[in-house]
């Protein structure tokens, strides 16, 4: 019998699981007799019970175990133990520990074939730290100021193609606009103006190469991985040629992330290679593109569902128009507090990265808010979940009303919870709001993401009226970066915001 490609790789996975199980049963486990270990999931299926629960969906599993076991618990996954830390009281060490105690490299290794060799999780921490410094430099305020001009002109050009009125899928539209903007600000003028279609198709293949199975088996010989590898190689050629012609041109440097990475230098004075620049750009696109487009769509969906917040955001635009006229720049976007809170609240409820992971390399102790003390042995994978932690009722008032009634929804989507005087995200201390992670590895692109989403929504608020005509959207839990299921259809009509 001929096996299909799918059957083939299911067989490989199955064989690997059996092998791991075999090793697990034969090897004696180390004694943890004197330790105060966190509770672990009890299951009727020994050894793989935790894995089975986890595979059914991490968020329902965390919800169930949090209720039963509290804020620190362990899931046994065949030969690995994953210990969860839920809430700011117990996640401090996760976010703040030095790399020697808590590292990312092992758990995010599956990104290596996508980002490519010599960058991020393929290099030692000392080099990775330097590469993160390159990100920090590429995203510092002086650079952000020039990106904002590009974000604004991309939004103006994109929406100028809409008619007087019509119906669009907001999710599709914002996804496309954000690809264009990311191309302009990150990948550079050459890609945006001449190679946009080719490069977008290659990124699409890279994206499709990141399947759930890729997390455990990133090199499995499946068609999606082969396409990914071909796309990665072609992108390296394209960027090598762009970098060479930039270096040879003698023109003034471009204002984009590509140029910033070309100009970056390691501590010993070594310049970045063409391959490293390509890898860092891919990493930036993977970190920032889907996350930002999903967030901009949720922001729109919630503001249209809760008209009071849409109206408040429009009033804010009027006020800013009065003071600054039509002009939009970095500092003017920074004044849009109402819009900022609307985005932040959509992101609290729908963080696209639902689970953050580390490998722990040393024993540590954690104390829960109830005063329970647990010893966490080294070797555990440790995890925390923005999707769950952002909805804890002892931190956020009415964080999570599932009801479809407008009144209840109003109480859960509540941007005012961040307003002066309430500041619910700060009341329980650091790590209460973790959509952008925090601590040692907090998102370096947070300001860029807010500027981009604000640039889009300030343009839409100033130029259009909207009505949400499809049912309120739901999470698409099947994606690696959790997005939105189906279309988000809106009816629009042009109307220019005027100030009296
Ligand atoms: C709404 C948009 C975004 C969200 C929700 C988001 C979320 C996150 C989260 C949760 C982390 C921490 C991961 C961890 O702790 O394991 C992170 C890290 C990171 N993000 Fe973002 N991100 C967004 C946009 C961006 C953008 C636009 C860029 C760059 C252009 C970016 C670049 C990075 C980088 C470089 C890191 C790694 C920082 C480190 O490990 O030190 N992100 N992001």
Rounded to whole angstroms, the Cα distance separating 399 from 403 reads 12
pLDDT at 171 over 80: yes
Using CB distances shorter than 6 Å, the residues near ligand 1 are 104, 132, 135, 284, 287-288, 291-292, 295, 351-353, 356, 435-437, 441, 443-445, 448-449
- Domain annotation for the chain: domains and CATH numbers: 34-494 (1.10.630.10)
Mean pLDDT over each residue of the chain, to the nearest integer: 90
Q: Please, are residues 422 and 416 in contact by the beta-carbon 8 Å criterion?
A: yes
CA of 186 to the centre of ligand 1 (A): 15
CA of 239 to the centre of ligand 1 (A): 23
- Per-residue pLDDT at 244: 95
Output the six-digit token pair for 275: 């391959």
CA of 291 to the centre of ligand 1 (A): 9
Distance of CA 477 to the CA centre of its chain: 14
Mutation test of ligand 1: which of 445, 450, 457, 484 has the most ligand atoms closer than 8 Å to its C-beta? 445
Closest Cα to residue 101, out of 304, 365, 299? Answer: 365
Kind of pairing between the strands at 356-360 and 102-103: antiparallel
- Per-residue pLDDT at 408: 44
CA of 295 to the centre of ligand 1 (A): 13
Q: Which helix (H) or strand (E) holds 389?
A: helix 386-389
Residue 353 three-state SS: coil
pLDDT at 159 over 70: yes
What are residue 494's DSSP bridge partners? 464
> What does residue 4 show for φ and ψ, rounded to 5 degrees?
-75, 170
Contacts of residue 275, Cβ cutoff 8 Å, sequence gap at least 6: 116, 117, 118, 236, 240
pLDDT in tens, 428-468: 889 999 999 999 999 999 999 999 999 999 999 999 999 99
> DSSP character for 472?
P
pLDDT in tens, 290-310: 999 999 999 999 999 999 999
The answer to the question of whether 443 is labelled as a binding residue is yes
Q: What is the mean pLDDT of residues 110-129?
A: 96
Neighbouring CB atoms inside 10 A of 165's CB total 12
- Per-residue pLDDT at 157: 97
Distance of CA 258 to the CA centre of its chain: 21
Contacts of residue 495, Cβ cutoff 8 Å, sequence gap at least 6: 463, 464, 465
Residue 330 three-state SS: helix
Rounded to whole angstroms, the Cα distance separating 459 from 162 reads 13
Q: What is the mean pLDDT of residues 86-102?
A: 96
pLDDT at 401 over 60: yes
pLDDT in tens, 319-371: 999 999 999 999 999 999 999 999 999 999 999 999 999 999 999 999 999 99
For atom 9 of ligand 1, which residue has the closest CA?
A: 436
Closest Cα to residue 298, out of 171, 160, 386? Answer: 171
pLDDT at 11 over 70: no
- Per-residue pLDDT at 498: 86
Tell which atom from ligand 1 comes closest to the C-alpha of 104. 16
Q: What is the mean pLDDT of residues 385-412?
A: 77
- Per-residue pLDDT at 26: 45
> DSSP character for 444?
S
CA of 43 to the centre of ligand 1 (A): 35
67-70 long-range contacts (CB < 8 A, ≥24 apart) are 69/38, 69/39, 69/40, 69/41, 70/39, 70/368, 70/370, 70/372
> DSSP character for 368?
-
- Per-residue pLDDT at 25: 44
Rounded to whole angstroms, the Cα distance separating 481 from 459 reads 26
Q: Please, are residues 83 and 71 in contact by the beta-carbon 8 Å criterion?
A: no
Edge to edge, the sheet with strand 464-468 lists 165-169, 489-494, 464-468
pLDDT at 235 over 50: yes
For atom 3 of ligand 1, which residue has the closest CA?
A: 291
Mutation test of ligand 1: which of 188, 443, 450 has the most ligand atoms closer than 8 Å to its C-beta? 443
State how far the alpha carbon of 338 is from the alpha carbons of 244, 315, 446, in Å: 44, 9, 17
Mutation test of ligand 1: which of 134, 256, 287, 454 has the most ligand atoms closer than 8 Å to its C-beta? 287
């Amino acid at each position: 019998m001929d096996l299909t490609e799918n059957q083939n790789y299911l067989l490989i996975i199955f064989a690997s699981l059996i092998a791991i199980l075999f090793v697990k049963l034969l090897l004696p486990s180390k004694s943890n007799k004197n330790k105060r270990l966190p509770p672990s999931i009890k299951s009727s299926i020994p050894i793989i019970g935790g894995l089975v629960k986890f595979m059914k969906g991490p968020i329902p599993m965390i919800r169930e175990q949090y209720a039963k076991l509290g804020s620190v618990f362990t899931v046994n996954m065949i030969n690995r133990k994953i210990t969860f830390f839920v809430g700011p009281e117990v996640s401090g060490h996760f976010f703040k520990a030095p790399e020697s105690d808590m590292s990312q490299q092992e758990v995010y290794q599956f990104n290596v074939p996508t980002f490519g060799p010599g960058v991020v999780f393929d290099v030692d921490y000392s080099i990775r730290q330097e590469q993160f410094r390159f990100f920090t430099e590429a995203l510092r305020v002086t650079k952000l100021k020039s990106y904002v001009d590009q974000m604004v002109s991309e939004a103006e050009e994109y929406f100028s193609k809409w008619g007087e009125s019509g119906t669009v899928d907001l999710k599709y539209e914002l996804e496309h606009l954000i690809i264009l903007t990311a191309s302009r600000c990150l990948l550079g003028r050459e890609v945006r103006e001449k190679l946009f279609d080719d490069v977008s198709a290659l990124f699409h293949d890279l994206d499709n190469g990141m399947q759930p199975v890729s997390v455990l088996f990133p090199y499995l010989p499946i068609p999606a991985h082969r396409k990914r590898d071909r796309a990665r190689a072609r992108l390296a050629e394209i960027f090598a040629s762009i970098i060479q012609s930039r270096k040879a041109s003698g023109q003034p440097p471009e204002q984009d992330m590509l140029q910033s990475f070309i100009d970056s230098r390691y501590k010993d004075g070594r310049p970045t290679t063409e391959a490293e620049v390509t890898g860092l750009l891919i990493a930036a696109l993977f970190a920032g593109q889907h996350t930002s487009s999903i967030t901009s769509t949720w922001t729109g969906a919630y503001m249209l569902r809760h008209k009071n917040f849409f109206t408040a955001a429009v009033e804010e635009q009027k006020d800013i128009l009065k003071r600054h006229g039509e002009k939009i720049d970095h500092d003017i976007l920074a004044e849009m507090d109402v819009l900022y809170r609307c985005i932040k609240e959509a992101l609290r409820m729908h963080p696209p990265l639902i689970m953050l992971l580390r490998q722990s390399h040393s024993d540590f102790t954690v104390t829960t808010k109830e005063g329970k003390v647990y010893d966490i042995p080294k070797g555990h994978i440790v995890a925390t979940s923005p999707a769950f932690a952002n909805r804890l009722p002892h931190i956020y008032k009415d964080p999570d009303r599932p009801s479809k009634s407008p009144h209840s929804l109003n109480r859960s989507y509540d941007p005012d919870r961040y307003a002066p005087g309430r500041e619910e995200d700060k009341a329980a201390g650091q790590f209460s709001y973790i959509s952008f992670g925090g601590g040692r590895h907090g998102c370096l692109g947070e300001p860029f993401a807010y500027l981009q989403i604000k640039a889009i929504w300030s343009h839409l608020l100033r130029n259009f009226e909207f009505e949400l005509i499809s049912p309120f959207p739901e999470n698409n839990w099947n994606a690696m970066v959790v997005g939105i299921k189906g279309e988000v259809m809106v009816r629009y009509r042009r109307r220019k915001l005027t100030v009296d």
